[in-house]
Amino acid sequence: MKLEKHRYIVFKVHSKKKISKRDFIRRIWKSIDDLFGCKGAADTGLWVVCFEENEKKGIIRCNLKSLKPVKAALIMITNMTRRVPMMIQILGVSGTIKTAKEKFY
């Protein structure tokens, strides 16, 4: 059995209000589930590696095969709740956490 290759997406959240890591993770999963369903969400291998609440920056890991759908789901997020608008900017994609942090974080 071959190991799946991963990609690390570095992103920045633009919002006027502070966003907790827990709420952010819930919102990502909701977006992916809405766009691709339960099976599609499970196939992404999505994992939030880190999220800095103060800087509103983070790194997400996903499978190489699901990189484009995950990026699309991130871009489609326009609000945290109805009253908290937000936008996610993808800063870059890398094959390792070390390179992701050095280049984009």
Q: Give the Å distances, CA to CA, from 78 to 4, 57, 65, 99.
A: 30, 16, 24, 28
Q: How many domains does the structure of the chain reveal?
A: 1
Report whether 71 contacts 63 (CB < 8 A). Answer: no
Tens-place pLDDT, residues 52-99: 999 999 999 999 999 999 999 999 999 987 788 999 999 999 999 999
What pLDDT, on the 0 to 100 scale, is given for residue 23?
A: 92
- Counting every residue written for the chain, the total comes to 105
CATH assignment of the domain containing 58:
3.30.70.3250
Q: What is the pTM of this model?
A: 0.92
What pLDDT, on the 0 to 100 scale, is given for residue 84?
A: 84
Q: Give the Å distances, CA to CA, from 39 to 19, 43, 44, 70, 71.
A: 27, 6, 9, 14, 17
CA nearest 33: which of 44, 24, 49, 22? 44
What does the alpha-carbon distance between residue 62 and residue 4 come to, in Å, rounded to a whole number? 10
Domain span at residue 55 reads 6-103
Any domain includes 1: no
